[in-house]
């Protein structure tokens, strides 16, 4: 049984998930799935966007008719370990419709993530995590990966949504070019000695 200190009481996270988190998952415009993937070190974190097939999503997160879930990026292994503190910070801001924090960081502890399932995300968190997960791909320097993640975390909601659209919605070639440009804009050139200096400033 997994237990965690929260709001001054000992809470069973499984019961908390069933009562409070799962109902939010069913309505959320974005999801963070914690899963196992064959051939990849566990866990794998996947960010998914809920899209309406018949129009825009309503304010309560429900689609106008049928919806589909689209994968928007994943992260695992060393990049996940390096970005986990930033990911925890981002999901910690998620609230329910009454603006009560869901404290989702409890399901992503720093030592060992045993949770498997879906966590609800709002538009800001979904766009930020999607950017982090996409831009870290093919980047070997973990300092650059962390620097990009920390800078993305500082985006406003509007900035995150704008840049997410730039790297996903203008066709394969334009999206690829936008991602390559953002890697340099946010993480510098490979081997640049100034990367660590900028990273240390953001860590303070």
pLDDT digits (tens, 9 = 90+) for 22-53: 999 988 999 999 999 999 999 999 999 999 87
Phi-psi category of residue 52: left, alpha or beta, with phi > 0 → left and psi -120 to 50 → alpha: beta
- Quick one: pLDDT at residue 56? 53
Sequence-separated (6 or more) residues with CB below 8 Å from residue 195:
141, 143, 144, 147, 187, 188
Contact 163, 179 (CB under 8 A): no
Sequence-separated (6 or more) residues with CB below 8 Å from residue 74:
37, 44, 45, 46, 47, 133
Residue 136 structure tokens: 């870290």
Beta partners for residue 34, in sequence order: 45, 117
Q: pLDDT per residue over 90-135, tens digit each?
A: 999 999 989 999 999 999 999 999 999 999 999 999 999 999 999 9
CA distance 156 to 176: 23
């Amino acid at each position: 049984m997994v237990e965690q200190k929260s709001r001054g009481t000992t809470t069973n996270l499984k019961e908390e998930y069933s009562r409070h988190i799962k109902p939010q998952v069913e309505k959320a415009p974005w999801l963070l799935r914690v899963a196992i993937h064959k051939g990849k070190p566990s866990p794998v974190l996947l960010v998914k966007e809920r899209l309406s097939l018949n129009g825009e999503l309503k304010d309560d997160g429900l689609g106008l008719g049928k919806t589909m879930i689209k994968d928007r990026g994943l992260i695992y292994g060393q990049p996940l370990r390096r970005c986990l503190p930033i990911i925890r910070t981002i999901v910690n801001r998620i609230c329910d419709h009454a603006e009560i924090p869901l404290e989702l960081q409890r399901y992503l502890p720093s030592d060992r993530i045993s949770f498997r399932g879906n966590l609800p995300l709002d538009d800001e968190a979904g766009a930020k995590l999607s950017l982090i997960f996409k831009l870290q791909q093919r980047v070997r320097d973990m300092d650059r990966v962390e620097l990009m993640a920390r800078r993305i975390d500082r985006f406003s909601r509007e900035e995150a949504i704008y840049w997410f659209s730039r790297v996903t919605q203008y066709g394969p070639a334009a999206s690829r070019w936008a991602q390559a440009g953002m890697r340099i804009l946010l993480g510098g050139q490979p081997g640049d000695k100034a990367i660590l200096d900028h990273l240390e400033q953001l860590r303070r």
